[in-house]
C-alpha cells in the first residue's frame, strides 16, 4: 500500500478560470489514480486538520517570516488579491495552503514510520515561495518546511531535497541552503522562470547542486545527469530522508516550458531515487497538462509499488 495524502479542500484554492495552476490538476490526478491498475494498493489519507497539528505553525515560522504569514492570511480574509502577477490568493487560500503544509508534514511522519514512500497530493505548490514572499503560484515553501520538520524527528540528522520540477526552486534553495543538515538538488530548464539555479550556486555548506538543462532536452540529457551527478551527490550526503519536489512540467506537452520528457521518464526518475532509499516523500509541485501530469504521477507511484 502506498499512502496518498489528499483532501478535496485543496480544490478550494481558487486561481481563476484561465490560471494554469488550477483545481482541475488535482482532480485529473486523483481520477487517474482511482482508475489505475493498482488503485487497490493506494491508501487515501486526509491531512491532519490545521487546528489539530501543533507542529505546523512553529515549523512554518522557521521557513517564513511572521509578517509574510500574516500578510497571506490578511489578503485571504479580506476577499483575496495577488501576491505577484502570477500568484493569486482567494478567500480560502490561506487555510488551504496551511492544509497543504500539513499534508507534507503528515507525509514526513508516514515515511519515517513505515520506511516506505508516500505522496502528498496537495496544492498550492511551494518551491518558489521565499521566506518573505510568495511567487510563481506558490504560497508556502512546502518542501523546505517538510525538511525542517523532518530534522526535528528522532534519528533524523540529514535530509535531502530533490527538485525535478522544470523550474528552479528558488524558494526552497533560499530557505535550506544555510542549513548544513539539508542538501538541495535541482534539475531545471535554463533559461526559464525564475532565472535562478546557476551551477555556481552551491549553498553555504556545498549543500546545493544545480543542474540547468537547455530547452529541448529529453531523457538522453537527464539520464546521464541523474547517474553521474544527482545520485552521487545525494549518496555522498547520506540522507535519512529524501523529499522530492515532484513537478511534472518538464513533459513535452506541458505549456509552460520547453523540455521534452515523457510520463514514463518519471518512472525512471523514481527508480533512481528508490535505488538510494525507500524513505521518500513525493510532494506535488508543477505540471499543467492534465493528461501527462496525471500519467506521470501514475508512473511515479507505480514504480514505488513494485
Query: What cell was used for 195?
Result: 532565472
CA torsion 57-144-5-250 (nearest 10°) is: 150
- Residues near 281 by beta carbon (within 8 Å), at least 6 away in sequence: 104, 107, 108, 110, 111, 117, 118, 119, 120, 146, 241, 242, 243, 244
Of 127, 128, 168, 179, the catalytic one is 128
For residue 135, the SS3 value is: strand
Give me the residues paired with residue 88 across strands.
82
Which DSSP state fits 6? Answer: -
CA dist 281 → 1, 202, 209, 218 (Å): 14, 24, 19, 25
Distance CA 162, CA 156 (A): 17
Question: Catalytic: 167?
Answer: no
Distance CA 164, CA 74 (A): 32
Which DSSP state fits 289? Answer: -
How many CB atoms lie under 10 A from the CB of residue 58?
11
Output b/e per residue, 130-158; b: 16+ Cβ within 10 A: beebbbbbbbbbbbbbbbbbbbeeeebeb
> Any alpha helices (H) in 119-277, and if so which ranges?
142-150, 170-176, 219-225, 231-237, 263-276
269 in Cβ contact with 263 (< 8 Å): no
4, containing H or E segment: strand 2-5
Query: What cell was used for 52?
Result: 489539530
Residues forming the active site? 128
Amino acid at each position: 500500500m502506498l499512502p496518498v495524502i489528499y483532501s478535496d479542500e485543496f480544490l478550494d484554492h481558487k486561481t481563476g478560470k484561465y490560471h494554469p495552476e488550477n483545481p482541475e490538476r488535482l482532480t485529473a490526478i486523483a481520477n487517474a489514480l482511482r482508475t489505475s491498475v493498482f488503485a487497490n494498493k493506494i491508501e487515501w489519507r486526509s491531512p491532519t486538520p490545521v487546528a489539530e497539528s501543533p507542529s505546523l505553525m512553529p515549523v512554518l515560522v522557521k521557513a517564513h517570516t511572521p509578517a509574510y504569514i500574516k500578510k497571506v492570511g490578511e489578503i485571504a480574509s479580506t476577499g483575496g488579491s495577488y501576491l505577484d502577477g502570477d500568484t493569486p490568493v482567494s478567500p480560502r487560500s490561506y487555510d488551504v495552503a496551511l492544509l497543504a503544509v500539513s499534508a507534507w508534514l503528515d507525509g514526513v511522519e508516514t515515511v519515517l514510520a513505515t520506511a516506505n514512500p508516500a505522496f502528498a497530493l496537495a496544492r498550492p505548490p511551494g518551491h518558489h515561495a521565499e521566506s518573505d514572499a510568495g511567487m510563481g503560484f506558490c504560497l508556502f515553501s512546502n518542501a523546505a518546511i517538510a525538511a525542517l520538520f523532518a530534522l526535528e524527528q528522532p534519528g533524523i540528522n540529514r535530509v535531502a531535497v530533490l527538485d525535478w520540477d522544470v523550474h528552479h526552486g528558488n524558494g526552497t534553495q533560499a530557505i535550506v541552503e544555510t542549513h548544513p543538515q539539508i542538501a538541495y538538488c535541482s534539475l531545471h530548464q535554463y533559461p526559464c522562470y525564475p532565472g535562478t539555479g546557476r551551477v555556481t550556486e552551491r549553498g553555504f555548506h556545498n549543500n546545493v547542486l544545480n543542474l540547468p538543462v537547455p530547452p529541448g532536452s529529453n531523457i538522453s540529457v537527464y539520464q546521464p545527469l541523474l547517474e553521474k551527478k544527482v545520485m552521487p551527490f545525494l549518496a555522498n550526503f547520506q540522507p535519512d530522508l529524501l523529499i522530492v519536489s515532484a513537478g511534472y512540467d518538464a513533459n513535452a506537452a506541458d505549456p509552460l516550458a520547453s523540455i521534452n520528457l515523457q510520463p514514463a521518464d518519471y518512472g525512471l526518475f523514481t527508480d533512481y531515487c528508490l535505488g538510494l532509499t525507500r524513505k521518500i516523500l513525493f510532494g506535488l509541485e508543477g505540471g499543467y497538462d492534465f493528461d501527462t501530469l496525471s500519467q506521470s504521477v501514475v508512473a511515479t507511484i507505480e514504480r514505488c509499488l513494485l
